Structures are given as C-alpha cells and as structure tokens.
Structure 1
Amino acid sequence: MRRLFSTVLLRIFFTKLLYLRRYGYLDDHMPGTRNLASAENRKYALQFFQNFNKIPITGVYDDATANLFGKERCGCPDVMPQKNEAAFSKKKNPPTPVQFNLGTKWNKNQVTWRLNSFSRKISNNNVRVETRRAFDLWSKNANLQFTELQSGDADIDIDFGRREHGDGAGNAFDGPGRVLAHAFFPPFGDTHFDEDEGWVVNRTGVDYFTVAAHEFGHALGLGHSEIREALMAPFYTGYNPNFELNSDDIAGIQALYGAPRNQPRPRPTTPRTTMPPVVVTEPPPPRPPPTNRPTFCDIPYNAAVRDFNGDLLVFMGRAYMLRINPNRGLVARMSQRTVFQRSPIRPDAATEVMSGSRIVMMKGRLLYHFSRSGRRISRKWISGGGATMPEQARAALSFSSNDISVFGASQVWKLNPNTGRVISGSHRYIGNEFPGVPNRIDAAVIRDDTTILFFKGRSRMHVFDRRQNRVVRTVDKGNELMDSTCNV
C-alpha cells in the first residue's frame, strides 16, 4: 500500500512539472538552478502561472491552482518559447503547435483555409458555417480577407483528430476535457480540434465557434493573452451568445495586419489637440523618515518592474537593484548587471511582458528585451518619428502583451513592444488618464490586478486603484514596501 501511495504521489509530481513545462512556465531559461525539477524552479514556475492567470501568488499547488490545471483550455503554451523557430520547415523538422517568435505573421492579407476533415458531433454544414463566422470575426477587426479552398494547398488546414493525430506523441490530444484544440503559428497555420470533445453549436457545451475563433487567432500569429476577458486567454470560458473580441484581441491583430480598410486611421494627437491636463494638487509629503534607517530606503527609483513570480524589482542609484516581496519585504540587494546582462545603466523605464516572458527596458530611444533569466535578447530603436516621443520616458506599464503605456513628464502614450513603434493617436495627459497621479513621476509598477504604484522623489509613493480610477493613498514607499527594514 505504501509503495502504491508513493507511486501515485510521484505521478502527480511529474504531472505538475509536465503541465508547467508544456505551457511555458518551466523551461531552460529559468533564473534559478539548471535543474528544472528543483524546488526553487518549481516554486518560481507556479508563481509565474499564478501571476499570469490572476490568482493569488502562493508558489504552492493550492486549490485555485489545481482548479485551473484541470480546466478546459487551448493546447498552445501561454508563455512564448525563447528560441528561434526560423529553421523549421513543414516537411523537415516540423514544429510542435506552440507559439513562435513575437511578431510572426502571414506576409499577406489574403489568407486561405481548407476543411480537411469534419466532426461526427456537428453536421458538416454547421462546421463550415461556424468556421466562416470565426474567420469573419478577425476580418471585421483587421485588414484581413479569408477564402475557403475545396482542394489544393491552403494556408490554414483544419482537421479533427483523436489522441496522437500526426503531431507527435508529445502533442497528442488527451480525450474528453482539458486540451480542446491547438494551432500552429504562421507560416504553418494548421489547426486541429480534439474529436473526443462534446462539440456543440451556439449552446452550452464546448462551442465550436468560440474555440475555433481562438485557435485561428494563433494561426494568424497571436499568442495567449494574460487579460482574462480576452478571446486569446488560454482557458475556455464557455458559450457567449453576444460574443465580441476584447480590446486586447483587437490591439493584437491590428498590430500584425493593421485596421480594416474601411476603418479610418486614428489621427496622431499631441498636447495641442487633447483635453487640457487636469492640474494635480499634490498632498503634503509624508512625515520625514527617521534619520537612522538605511540609506537605500530614501533613494529615488530609476525604474520598477514586477518579476514573473510577483516580486518587485526596483532600479536605483547608478547600477544596483532591490528585490522586494509583497509579503516579506526586502529580499535582496544586488548589482543590476548580475541580474540583467548588458543592461543599460540607469534605465529610464522598465516593465514586464507576461506572455513573452520578457522584461523590457527603455533608455533614450532604445528598447531592450531581456529573458526571465536576465539574458539580453534584443535591442532596437523606437520608431514613429520624433513627435511620437515628445518627452523622455520616465516610467512604463504593460497591461497586456500588445502595448506598453510610456510615461513622460506630463504625457502618457502607447508603444508596441514587439515592433518598437509608438502607436499613433495614443498620446494623452497623465492627469486625465490617471487622476491624482502627478507629473514627472520617477517610476511605476503594476502591483496586482487592481493596484498600480507610482513613485516620485526620495520617499513618496502614490497608490492608484484601477477600479476606482484614482489615487487612494500617498505613503512613504520605504515604510509601505519594506516595513521591517525602513520603519525603524
């Protein structure tokens, strides 16, 4: 009996590891030890999964985590693999149905599709009608047109299959529940549905239209979204008779293919054409901090970012950082370049891109991408013309993987982290978009699903509630984030 119990526990252990590895949370680019199964890496991967999916970050396999592990979902990873897929070909060394590099897309706007097989659960006509409707959802919101082929080679081949269906044992379907479908990114596009699911049309069950629309998003080049309301979120949310694409889905597909031809391009807005800024009267400063507390409690922050496990990383001074855990306070002080190799000294701004598993830094008009292990992946110039960066960047926030909000002295604008291009027409005044937040902030970071922290000066931190859309508290940052260290 004891041996059987040990075998069951071992199987559960490896099932968790396989899940985290399959969906991109546990890979060869972990920031910890090279042993992927180590306790350190398992905890980090669980924290990353919890952070991405907006559940409490505990680092343990709790009830909320177990519930998501067992939920129906797409078979593609949530986190972008950090490897070059360009060497793959469809006939030699074919890829698995995973996300490819950021920005992968068809090099055309006319895309063809073909139904190679059908489901026994839905009539052939219903499959065809719902497939067209799913493609129409994307063409309505982007410069895309889709054509069905009855024969010949199509860009997107659509099939229903069971268990191991030609993609290799590692990508086999798993029977009813859990993985519903998966798709390949361009230039492959193949989309496969698990025939063991209880497929239905326009009613409660596994709605074919909803799943197909999600998978076609992958076949067009979109990854998974950390926005729970988005179609491209990894978990199946059920049939919705009034379904429309989320703004994050639309931002992603238009970043790849542009807006529909009949939709006018937004005009660039500058301070002369936006509403006058709200004048923010700053509250009196908090009480002067004690003189005997550590010096780093009162050094202004250059930039701040939320690590994938939920910790805060703050850049300060010339080249050092603090790691702050929301529950335990200060965890470590360290050199910036021991964490982020070849990173810019005193970055102007930094933020995280969740589904890309990347940290993005800005310095002047340069954009740097780093892997979660701190390896520098790329450096590119920010494009869009001088008027699109009217002020030097001072902070950055990433609410989704499709755009970054960049804060200057008085304005905030959006930047596509994948292309490095400023989004036309996105310029606004900070006081109008974030009521109560003063101009000339030093850094900002998203603490959780409802709270943003804005830092200014030696000790001031403005706590912004996203639901109330206002600053709810102004506090001493050292006391709030590192109480036991700074509140002496």
Structure 2
Amino acid sequence: MSSPRCGVQDAWGQRVSRHRRKKRYAHTGEKWHKRHLTYRIMNGPRNLSPSQVHVAVKTAFQLWSNVSGLIFQELQHGPADIRLAFFEGEHNDGTGNAFDGPGGTLAHAFFPFRGEAHFDMSERWTLNGLKGHNLFLVTAHEIGHTLGLVHSPVRHALMSPYYKKMGSNTLLSWDDITAVQQLYGKPPGDSVQPLGGRALRWTMQDWQIFQDSKGGSLTPHYCQGYFDAITTDEDGTVLVFQGSRFWTVSNGSVSAPLPLQMRWPQLSLAIEAAAFSPLDSKLYFFKGRRIWRYSRSDLDPGFPMKSSDLGLPNHPDCAFFYHPLGHMVLFRGSRYYVLNLESLSVEPYYPRALRDWKGLPRGLNGALTRPDGKLYFFKEQQYWRFDPEKVRITAAGRWTESLPWVGCHTTPSLQGNDIL
C-alpha cells in the first residue's frame, strides 16, 4: 500500500520514489509580488471543529513566516490571496485532480497566482496524528506550493512529495528554508525561528485534549505548579506562558493552549520573562540574550535586540511594569534593574540589591500588576502580593488555590494567607 502523498506533480515530470534523490529545483520561479498575503478557510473537515482547523492552519502559515519575509493575515469574508477548502471526489479541478477517498492523495494545491489548496474531505483529519492525518503538517506542505515551492527530493524536507510525520526535530529542512528565502527573503532582522516538531506536537495534543474534554474539569498544564512567565495584554487579559504554548485567562475563564508563535510571530519558544507596558501599550519578552517588543501581534522594527545593548542581564527571572517609578523592573538573581522604556536604557544607579524588595525570594518566575495596583510575584507554586503604597508583602500562599484570576481556582473556599 502506497504512502499518503501530495497530489501536486513533481517538478521533474513524474512522481518519484521516496528513496530516489534528484537535483533540487527549489521553486517554479512563480511567486507573489508582495510580502503581505491574506488567506481564508472556506470550510473544514467533518471530524474537527472550526477552532481546531483554525489553529492548525494558522500555525502552518506561521511555520513559513517565521523563516521568510512573508506576513500572513486570515480573513473571515471576501476575497483572499490563498483559499483553503475541503472537497470529495471530483470537484471541478479536472479528473486528474479528483480525490480518491481515504488514503492515497490527501491534498493538492496550485502555484501563484491561483492561490488554492484543496483537501480530501473523506480523510480522517487530526491534530495529534495518532489516528488519521495531521492537518497541520499537510496544510504546511500545501501552503509551500501556494507560495511557489515545488516538491523536494530531500527525504526529510517538508516539501517532500510524501507527507512527513510529526517528529521531535525542526519541521522545515535547510532545503525548505532556502527555497522560500530565495523567493521572499529572510524575516526582519534575519531572526529565523524554525519551529520544532516536539513543541508543536504538544500544542496539537493539548488542543485535542481540550476539545475531547469540553464540559469536564480538566485544568491547564501550568496549574500543576509551573509556568515560564505571566503578564497581561493591552486588554487586561492574563497571559500565562509555558514552553511553546500560552493561555489567556479572562474573568476566571481559561482558553485552550495556543501556539506561542501563532500570536507573536518570530518569538522564541520557552520565554523567560514577559511584561506589558501601559506607557506604550507594548508587550516585552525576554529570553537568553535577546528582547522582543510587540505592538499587539506585530514585532517592532529593530527587534529582537540584545539585552546587553540596553544594559540588561541575560536570562532575567521576571519582568514587570512598576507604576510608582513609571519604568519596567527586571529581577535577575540577587539584583534588580530599572529599564527606562523611552530611552531603552537602564536607569542610573542600577542594578541594586534585591533585598530592597523585602520578603521576596530569588529565582521568581513571573510577576504582574493587577487592576487594583497590587503586584503579584510567583515562584513555582507560591505567590506573594506586594502593595506599592505600603512597600511590603501583604499576602502569600499557593496561587493555584488562592488566585481565581490565574485560572486554576477549583476550590473557592481556599484563600491566601492575608498578612494585612
């Protein structure tokens, strides 16, 4: 029985064995003559919800924008550059493009400028790849065709005629990346962020679990007591980050886990700190030696920047906007730094000793300011509430039990240990 493959003909004129190697013809020469492309999901398969299809398709487009100069925008109505639709059998593409039922050809697409990708409705589509065909991977492959990429003879390339499985390695090979960059250039700042299969597989599995458990009491993974960072966005929604995923929490209601780079293109996975600034309505992310700044979902020009260029340390523990100072504060080990967001430089006479913040431990993994002005600091399963007016800790406890706005509050009777 033949392996499922793409219905697009191979560039060398015939379908070839997976084990046969040919010279690489990276692309057709046809390409879009713009960098901002729109797409629209026309319909979806029977066994996946619209939200599942949305996350699979958006993440598939993100896979390509992370390594190229392209920007993709989803449209709900009207004409779009790229349209994705599900059909059965003959669907007015000619008999040669008719779908053949379960197995065999899963999908096909057209090069610019037709901008269409068609998927076999009769297949069993999934997000985790355990029973059926991974919609994310197949969509990512077909998007490559709509951008002008042909099939690759490189065995492990995403653009191989035969669909690859979701392994732990980076999904785009050097061949895929070179091909798309020949057509559309590199991303801003040459910040290439290829996505790994393991992280994306976790994300897709989380979405599958979320859909299968609707109506149940399943709590987010971070409620087990650990997350990478926490902050709010411009709308006051709490954002919780863990690995390749993030959750939104609003009025105690938690979203499904979402791919980090679906909302913030080119952002590195497993960030170390995040903070929202009400001064400029921007989100700041920190990891390793770099800083990212976003206006909603758009990476600001000139970013990511090196932490050292701003006088900041590498690998910060946490970051937050501190209203009494009107600046951003970062903790690192036994010291803290105050960052002037207008000059993007550390304020004079900093860093200072962390003991200025009496009662706070080292190694915090998150901090944010609530609407009442109180600061909340997190370390593993513990939290500390800091009152800027009293300049001291006023409450502490287990955040999974005591803070319903974090999204894990399953026992309303449990409260934090209020000090004053």
TM-score (norm 2): 0.41
TM-score (norm 1): 0.36
